[in-house]
Amino acid sequence: MLINVEDVFDLFSHGIRTPWAIRSFLQFAVENWDKPPRYAVLAGSGSYDYRNDQGLGDCQIPSLPIYVSGGQYITDAPLASWDGDKAPEIALGRLHCQTTQELAGAIAKIKNFETDGHWKHLAHMIADEFDPSAGDFAKSSDLIATNIPIPRYQIDRNFYDTQTVSEVQSRIIDTLNTGAYFISYYGHGNPSFLNDSILHVRDLPSLTNATAPSIMCALTCAFTYFGTPGIEFLGEGLIGRNSSGVAALWGAVAITFNSASEQLGLYLTEAIFQNKTIRLGDAILSALNRYEDAPTFPFVLDVMNLPGDPATALPPPGYSFGSWQQYVFSESELGDPETSGPLADPDGDGQRNLLEFAVGSSPTNSTDTASFTAWISQHEPTPGTTNDYATAQYRQRQWREGYESSMEACTNLLNQTWFSDIGTIEHVETTPIDDVFEEVTVRLHPELLIDREFFIRLRVRKTN
């Protein structure tokens, strides 16, 4: 749903431009709509000059000013919290864009992140050098990395303690330009650069990747800061640049502390990588709510902001057929459609690659085959029918893009009339097997079992 911010001002603040109208609207929607929104994104730039006293016109959607340790900042977090604590009631993000072109580019990056590719197997972990007065940043980075499963993800440690500044900087920019599923940073930072300028606002023009963008968790001070009229800071630029940057960025707008950052990073990575949370906003809500239960510094809840869309999906790597092909076939095999194509059967087991991909069996090992189980189960009889069900189970991927799988039944192989509609096959349940696959249980309508043979098959077909 698209809401014009001017309508919000008209309805909730008598036409006056004020951030309090944004919060009043969000509260009203969450508490009164028949289907309360779970995610909201502010599509436009913001600054403390929401009345445009300086005449720059770069505050399209205002945010709230707060005073915390180190000074006054503006932040979106309190716009989503109103029940007396500091944890949000709705997942809120912002796309720092000033033009429709920038907004279209930011949306395109989000959509590209939600697709699949070889880059989705990479987690790039950046850590500043050890500072006895601030924290052991490498230790914090390694700690949250324990939540990231190997070998599904390749963890690329880019630590300041073991490299020169130029080496760290080069690897960061290379990763931003080639893509990674997840990028994290622990260390010192400010609105314009990470420590020692290993990533600086002046680097924005050298970032060119829009097709394989990352989500970035910058657990440092003031990296998502915004709000000074007429100035673009690094966090704003990473989101607003339509041909570069990241799909989403989570971090603080103000000074914070590494102990709090370590907790939040642990909670976020656990939600994403261990609990397999489907949406970025839900992972962030989980992290913030857990932190709110035992906060080391409660003000941190007021300053954690999401430049990005909280509804961004978090599909795991390898869920598309194309990515699977890259993983299981060699470069030469990829060039041969008789080996790696969707209808090929390289191991000669009678099961084509698309089916092997869908159920997780091997296309190069004929003893590892796609299979499903079936049995007869009892149920209370319905007049005129048998008291038996034919029940079947099969495995499929939790995330499916470009194909669909279904169980079908047939009572006459000669005419090859296969049925898969609800009146013939009833879905019973779907249960997760692991973080990739789920088990689907279906049963056939009892009328198929009356005085006749029947056949069942698992069908997988491409949808685009």
Summarize pLDDT for 181-207 with one digit per residue, the tens: 999 999 999 999 999 889 999 999 999
187: left (phi over 0), alpha (psi -120 to 50) or beta: left
Number of domains in the chain: 3
In a domain, 316, yes or no: no
Residue 435 has pLDDT above 80, yes or no: no
Residue 374 has pLDDT above 70, yes or no: no
Q: Which domain, by its residues, includes 382?
A: 373-462
Which residues partner with 131 through β-bridges?
A: 135
Same domain, 192 and 261: yes
In a domain, 32, yes or no: no
Q: What is the mean pLDDT of residues 345-356?
A: 90
Residues with Cβ within 8 Å of 332's Cβ and at least 6 positions away in sequence, in order, are none
What pTM does this model have?
0.78
For residues 345 and 349, what is the distance between their CA atoms, to the nearest angstrom?
7
Q: What is the mean pLDDT of residues 389-413?
A: 81
For residues 285 and 287, what is the distance between their CA atoms, to the nearest angstrom?
5
In percent, the amount of the chain with pLDDT more than 90 equals 57
How much is the pLDDT for 198? 92
Same domain, 260 and 380: no
- Which of 147, 90, 430, 405 is CA-nearest to residue 276? 147
Mean pLDDT computed over every residue of the chain? 88
How much is the pLDDT for 337? 93
Where does the pLDDT of residue 371 fall: very low under 50, low under 70, confident under 90, or very high at 90 and above?
low
How much is the pLDDT for 447? 65
For residues 445 and 415, what is the distance between their CA atoms, to the nearest angstrom?
20
Same domain, 297 and 389: no
In a domain, 3, yes or no: no
In percent, the amount of the chain with pLDDT more than 70 equals 92
Owner of token pair 């020169």: 164
- Could you report the per-residue pLDDT of 237-278, keeping only the tens digit for each? 999 866 688 999 999 999 999 999 999 999 999 999 988 788
Residue 37 has pLDDT above 80, yes or no: yes
Residue 383 has pLDDT above 90, yes or no: no
For residues 331 and 346, what is the distance between their CA atoms, to the nearest angstrom?
15
In a domain, 22, yes or no: no
Q: What is the CATH number of the domain that holds 411?
A: 2.60.40.10
How much is the pLDDT for 393? 87
How much is the pLDDT for 305? 98
Where does the pLDDT of residue 172 fall: very low under 50, low under 70, confident under 90, or very high at 90 and above?
very high
Residue 134 has pLDDT above 70, yes or no: yes
Owner of token pair 């599509």: 43
Residues with Cβ within 8 Å of 329's Cβ and at least 6 positions away in sequence, in order, are 339, 340, 363
| Helix runs in 350-435, H state only | 353-359
Same domain, 450 and 400: yes
Residues with Cβ within 8 Å of 34's Cβ and at least 6 positions away in sequence, in order, are none
How much is the pLDDT for 91? 97
If one compares 180 and 417, the residue with the highest pLDDT of the two is 180
Residue 384 has pLDDT above 60, yes or no: no
Residue 452 has pLDDT above 70, yes or no: no
Same domain, 275 and 342: no
How much is the pLDDT for 448? 60
Residue 411 has pLDDT above 60, yes or no: yes
Q: What is the CATH number of the domain that holds 123?
A: 3.40.50.1460
Same domain, 94 and 237: yes
- Could you report the per-residue pLDDT of 282-298, keeping only the tens digit for each? 999 999 999 999 888 99
Where does the pLDDT of residue 326 fall: very low under 50, low under 70, confident under 90, or very high at 90 and above?
confident
Same domain, 351 and 230: no
In a domain, 238, yes or no: yes
Rounded CA Rg of the chain = 26
- Could you report the per-residue pLDDT of 200-214, keeping only the tens digit for each? 999 999 999 888 999
In a domain, 6, yes or no: no
If one compares 6 and 243, the residue with the highest pLDDT of the two is 6
| Helix runs in 220-257, H state only | 234-240
Same domain, 198 and 222: yes
6 φ, ψ (degrees, to nearest 5): -65, -35
Cα 34 to Cα 6, 26, 311, 348, distances in angstroms: 23, 14, 19, 54
Cα 355 to Cα 45, 315, 392, distances in angstroms: 47, 20, 17
Same domain, 222 and 179: yes
Q: What is the mean pLDDT of residues 322-328?
A: 79
Same domain, 50 and 199: yes
Residue 222 has pLDDT above 80, yes or no: yes
Same domain, 297 and 387: no
Same domain, 171 and 235: yes
- Neighbouring CB atoms inside 10 A of 351's CB total 21
In a domain, 31, yes or no: no
In a domain, 49, yes or no: yes
